[in-house]
Structure formats: C-alpha cells, structure tokens
Structure 1
Amino acid sequence: MTDGTFRGHTWTKPAARTEEEEEDPVDMMVMKTGCAGLHHAVQECMAEHRDWRQCQGALGEFKHCMSEQQARRAEELRSRRAAQGTSS
C-alpha cells in the first residue's frame, strides 16, 4: 500500500456446495446402520417404477435389516445400562 493502491484481502470464499454434494441426514443415519445398500436399492427401485407396491421385495429386505439393527442397538443400550448399574 505504499503506492496508494488498495489491494484488498487475498483469501477467497470457498465454493458453495451443490445440493448433490450436501450430506443427506437420512443417508447419514442409514449408513451408520449397515443397511445403506438396501436403502439405495429401495431408492433405485422407486426411481425406476415410481410405485412402492412394485418395490415390496426391496422394502421388505430394508425393513428387516433396520429391524435387526434396532434390536442390536436396544440390546447394546440394555447391556450398557446393566453394566453402569453394577459399577455404581
């Protein structure tokens, strides 16, 4: 700035993320369950057929996977609570 010209800052704003790049909260939750592949199969079936009745097989498999995951999670929480109860 010795010559009287203002040059401004040198940082640049990060590029905005597009909608496709943003993480979907549902996808993130499903990824944690181990059922993501089945979830994607349901999505692909729905995109292809646009009728959930034609996707009953994929929906059933996804539902079964999620039910098993919920049962495992519930058992894990029960075990933790029991362990905390005995350690107090």
Structure 2
Amino acid sequence: MSGHGKQEITDPVEEMLKKTGCINLHYVVQDCISETKDWRKCQDKVAEFRKCMQEYEEKKSKK
C-alpha cells in the first residue's frame, strides 16, 4: 500500500442519506444521543428525521 494521497472511506449509509437530503438531521440525532446518552430524550429530533425520510420516499415513489 503506497502513501500517496489519502483515500476517503465512505460509509454506504451516509452516502444513501446524502441522496435523501436528510443527512444533517441524521447528524442532529447522532449528536443528541451522544450528548444525552439516552435516545428517548431525542424523540423530537428522531421525528424530524423520520418525517424527512418519509417525504423523500414519497417523492421518490411519485417519479
């Protein structure tokens, strides 16, 4: 393995979320869970993310 340049490791889940337009909400949920250590305290953020994903799926199915 050569040391020429850096190869970025891409997370397939993050790549998919970028396509949906919901990646920032995903990060908000992750940050909340990291800060609170309790996903139940982040339900408002989870709901926003879920809504974004549902809207993406609806738009995708209408194409």
TM-score (norm 2): 0.87
1:46 alignment partner in structure 2 = 33
Separation of aligned partners in 1, 2:52 and 2:58 = 10
Separation of aligned partners in 2, 1:47 and 1:16 = 32
1:57 alignment partner in structure 2 = 44
Higher-Rg member (1/2)? 1
Q: Compare relative contact order (CA 8 Å, sep 6+) and give the higher one, 1 or 2.
A: 2
Residue 56 of structure 1 aligns to a residue whose secondary structure is helix
Q: Which runs of 5+ in 1 are unaligned?
A: 1-11, 77-88
Which 4+ stretches in 1 moved above 3 angstroms?
14-18
Separation of aligned partners in 2, 1:45 and 1:15 = 37
Q: Residue type of the partner of 1:40?
A: Y
Give 1:24 deviation, angstroms.
Answer: 1.0
TM-score (norm 1): 0.64
Aligned pairs, number: 63
Q: Deviations over 1:42-81 (max 9, x none)?
A: 01001111211000011000000000000000111xxxxx
Q: Calculate the aligned-residue CA RMSD, in Å.
A: 2.1
